[in-house]
Amino acid sequence: MIPKPNGRRADASWMAGARAQIDQFLDSVMPPEDEAPPLLHAAMRYSVFSGGKRLRPLLCMASYEAVALRAGARPERPDLQRTPPWLWPAAAVELVHCYSLIHDDLPCMDDDDFRRGRPSCHRAFDEATALLAGDALLTLAFVALSDARFVAAMNAAAAAAAGSAGPGASLALACVRELSGAAGSLGMVGGQAAEFASTTGADPWPKTAGPQEAAERIVAIQELKTGKLFQAAVRMGAIAAGAEHDVLQALTRFARSYGRAFQIRDDIEDADTQDAAAGTLTSVTLGGAEAARTEMARLALEARKTALDLGAAGCKLVSIVDLTFPEAVDADV
């Protein structure tokens, strides 16, 4: 039986098994390190298996389960012998995330020498290899989403639930559209470009905007830079499970609130380091750390309520919110 949220922190014990399942699947979709060109594949694997929390894949799984449970399916239990449909989009969104981190750390961007407590990819290898490793991970994400086994897994799940073949191919295409849109110029890359331009002075708006306009632009950058990829993770999981429109919309609202809260949390953590030095305009540099914490908590609790409104089907989503924003949840219970 899956634990039901009851106003206190939801049970997160399922995450360890899910992460193991995700890591095993990521290992299976990536080229072996000794396959030519070995240096490139070593850099790709170095960046993917670097100790990340796998939040985006976990959100994809939790969203898939929320839809499936509402349709009468049994709860997902981590099983290294199975490849349920959510694994393909979960792997794809993590590959895109890892590519973005490699490129973020490059000298032409954030110029970070360390990532997750060890040398960033361009420091462990070299700049050219890091650039190409990021490119390859982005491409590999769409290899995963276009895998015929993903289509077959969705069709099999639909047949088990409804006794008829499901529209696996069209759902896979919808997932490709979700991730490509979230990762491109109208999503993550666009948000990075807007933030970078405002920092370098290529876009003069930070110096000319009033407080209200500045706040609106920050929200827009948060939505693009961070929120869109979280939305893609949640929406792809729901799409793979055959979500109806109303449930998909509710999950999208969840992801928007969660994604904005997550970016504000990052802004708070970076406030005393690179953001202040670079002159980056964030929630913290605009309104101060206390106001940013208040807004982060508001958005986190908004996401939690949306997940709670799904009933027991949303309990894994609730537990991810609780893991990410424990201070907001503890203050509210």
Which pLDDT does position 87 carry in this prediction?
98
Q: Which CATH code fits 14-332?
A: 1.10.600.10
Mean pLDDT lowest among 16-25, 203-212, 234-243, 257-266: 203-212
Separation of alpha carbons 28 and 39, rounded Å: 18
Q: pLDDT at residue 4 above 60?
A: no
Q: What is the end-to-end Cα distance of the chain in Å, rounded? A: 24
Looking at every residue in the chain, the average pLDDT score rounds to 89
Which pLDDT does position 1 carry in this prediction?
36
> Residue 12, exposed/middle/buried by CB under 10 A (0-12, 13-18, 19+)?
middle
Which pLDDT does position 3 carry in this prediction?
42
131-177 confidence digits (pLDDT tens): 999 999 999 999 999 999 999 999 998 887 665 556 889 999 999 99
Average pLDDT estimate for 230-254 = 97
Cβ neighbours of residue 17 closer than 8 Å, sequence gap 6 or more: 77, 78
11-33 confidence digits (pLDDT tens): 788 999 999 999 999 999 999 99
Pull the structure tokens for residue 115.
């990532």
Number of neighbours of residue 223 by Cβ within 10 angstroms? 19
Encoded amino acid at 20, one letter: A
Domain range annotation of the chain: 14-332
Q: At 262, is the secondary structure helix, strand, or coil? A: helix
Which pLDDT does position 216 carry in this prediction?
85
pLDDT-above-90 percentage for the chain: 69
Furthest-apart CA pair in the chain: how many Å? 60
Mean pLDDT lowest among 52-61, 71-80, 144-153: 71-80
Per-residue confidence band for 281, with pLDDT thresholds at 50, 70 and 90? confident
The alpha carbon of 222 is separated from its chain's Cα centroid by a whole number of angstroms, namely 13
Which pLDDT does position 94 carry in this prediction?
99
Average pLDDT estimate for 267-272 = 81
Q: pLDDT at residue 51 above 70?
A: yes
Q: pLDDT at residue 299 above 60?
A: yes
Strand residues in the chain grouped as ranges (E): 114-115, 118-119
